[in-house]
């Protein structure tokens, strides 16, 4: 997957003379010590991240962890003190004012927590605003604004004023304004945190719906781990201006790597996070016959697979034992459940009735593993770490 946005060794020191603080950071000094000695605040300390094209990358942490500073350094609302912000391989940190303005107008859009709508402008004029700054002709920007308002479900509200809309609707206007510019990257800074819980859930669902259609690259800042799990393809957790853990939502819950990260994960509903692929047992061939390959199943059953790896049928524990002993396969039953590897465990559990075996099959219908009730319950209850490759763990 192409890296749309890459952050390399990014530092932010809130000082007109950041050099002494950067020198102390290079020697391994911490944020607190630098503040005590120099009286300056370190916002970011050597942050590096790669955001793939089309990802929803969640940046989270407690207040003061540096997550909003990080977001604002990417589009240079805050000027980085050192490091690179590579947009499709081009470093935007050295860009002059005119070039940076063009990047903000065409490549990176931002959705703020408090809407930032112009109260004296109608909804459609707010949505057009970025296009107007870009110099787009009136008829074209009106067409585009009407198009995105329809996308976010506000087609009938274009000629109303912001004060006539609910909080959730105003946030949709902010999202529509960002989408209207057709920017490659959306930065969403606590975009839903000011909303009531039910409206917030609706906006999360709306963003997921839009993302399936638009496939934007989204950097989403939040302090809510449940929101990060729901929306994110990857999560980076920050503390003291540093990224202390990043990886997939499932891997972070399985292997937090530190007490700080583990504190976010303790109350997570694992049945809605973990999927069948994570809990399944891989196929174990026990018998080869003319019909195909017999593999054992987690609950004591056996699945018969054809030459393409697709399930022909299932044997109960008694028939499986006979087949092992005799080398011959008896009558196959079709009384089993098939689930995709991405099915959440709560969905799998709902399918588990009367002790029927569960086959995990891929998009082509090929058998890749099996699940029993014990596997489902063990994974939901488990807090034991699991080895996960390709993830970053940094002790804070």
pLDDT at 298: 58
Cα distances from 123 to residues 142, 166, 179, in angstroms, run 11, 12, 14
CB 323 within 8 A of CB 294: yes
pLDDT at 126: 92
> 129-167: string of b/e by CB count within 10 Å (b at 16+)?
bbbeeeebeeeebbebbbebbebbebeebbeebbeebeb
H helix runs in 114-188, sequence order: 123-134, 138-151, 167-180
d(CA 93, CA 100): 9
Positions in the chain short of pLDDT 50: 1, 383-390, 395-396
Token digits of residue 285: 């061939």
d(CA 254, CA 256): 6
d(CA 355, CA 333): 14
CB 145 within 8 A of CB 124: yes
Element (H, E) at 239: strand 234-239
In this structure, the dihedral spanned by the alpha carbons of residues 282, 285, 289 and 290, taken in order and rounded to 10 degrees, is: 30
CB 190 within 8 A of CB 72: no
Tell how strand 108-111 and strand 234-239 pair up: unpaired
Token digits of residue 226: 């449940």
Torsion angles phi and psi, residue 41, rounded to 5? -100, 130
Residue written as token pair 């993302």: 211
pLDDT at 228: 92
pLDDT at 388: 42
pLDDT at 385: 39
pLDDT at 124: 95
pLDDT at 302: 87
Q: Count Cβ atoms below 10 Å from residue 252 Cβ, excluding itself.
A: 29
Domains of the chain, CATH where assigned: 3-9+49-269 (3.40.50.300), 276-381 (3.10.580.10)
Q: Residue 78: which region, alpha, beta or left (left: phi > 0; alpha: psi -120 to 50)?
A: beta
| Burial class (CB within 10 angstroms; exposed 0-12, middle 13-18, buried 19+) of 259 | exposed
d(CA 362, CA 226): 28
Cα distances from 207 to residues 91, 218, 233, 237, 324, in angstroms, run 28, 10, 13, 21, 52
pLDDT at 389: 42
pLDDT at 299: 64
Please state at what angle helix 167-180 crosses helix 138-151, rounded to 10 degrees: 130
């Amino acid at each position: 997957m192409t890296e749309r946005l890459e952050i390399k060794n990014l530092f932010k020191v809130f000082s007109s003379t950041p050099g002494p603080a950067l020198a102390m950071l290079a020697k391994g000094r911490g944020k607190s010590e630098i503040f005590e000695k120099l009286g300056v605040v370190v916002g970011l300390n050597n942050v590096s991240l790669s955001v793939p094209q089309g990802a929803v990358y969640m940046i989270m942490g407690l207040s003061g962890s540096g997550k909003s500073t990080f977001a604002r350094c990417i589009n240079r609302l805050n000027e980085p003190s050192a490091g690179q912000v590579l947009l499709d391989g081009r470093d935007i940190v050295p860009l002059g004012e005119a070039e940076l303005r063009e990047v903000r107008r065409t490549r990176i859009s931002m959705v703020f927590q408090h809407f930032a709508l112009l109260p004296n402008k109608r909804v459609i004029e707010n949505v057009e605003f970025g296009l107007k700054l870009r110099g787009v002709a009136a008829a074209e920007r009106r067409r585009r604004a009407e198009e995105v308002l329809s996308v976010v479900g506000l087609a009938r509200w274009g000629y109303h004023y912001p004060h006539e809309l609910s909080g959730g609707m105003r946030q949709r206007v902010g999202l529509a304004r960002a989408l209207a510019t057709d920017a490659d990257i959306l930065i969403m800074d606590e975009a839903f945190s000011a909303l009531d819980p039910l409206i917030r859930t609706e906006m999360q669902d709306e963003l997921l719906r839009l993302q399936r259609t638009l496939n934007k690259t989204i950097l989403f800042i939040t302090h809510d781990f449940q929101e990060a799990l729901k929306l994110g393809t990857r999560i980076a957790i920050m503390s003291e201006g540093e990224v202390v853990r990043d990886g997939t939502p499932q891997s972070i819950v399985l292997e937090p790597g530190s007490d700080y990260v583990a504190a976010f994960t303790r109350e997570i509903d694992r049945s809605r996070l973990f999927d069948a692929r994570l809990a399944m047992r891989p196929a174990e061939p026990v018998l080869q016959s003319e019909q195909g390959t017999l593999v054992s199943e987690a609950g004591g059953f056996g699945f018969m697979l054809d030459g393409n790896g697709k399930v022909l049928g299932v044997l109960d524990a008694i028939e499986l034992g006979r087949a092992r002993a005799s080398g011959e396969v008896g009558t196959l039953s079709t009384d089993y459940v098939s689930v995709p590897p991405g099915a959440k465990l709560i969905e799998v559990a709902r399918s588990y009735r009367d002790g029927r075996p569960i086959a995990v099959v891929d998009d082509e219908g090929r058998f890749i593993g099996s699940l029993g009730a014990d596997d489902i319950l063990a994974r939901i209850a488990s807090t034991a770490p699991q080895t996960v490759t390709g993830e970053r763990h940094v002790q804070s």
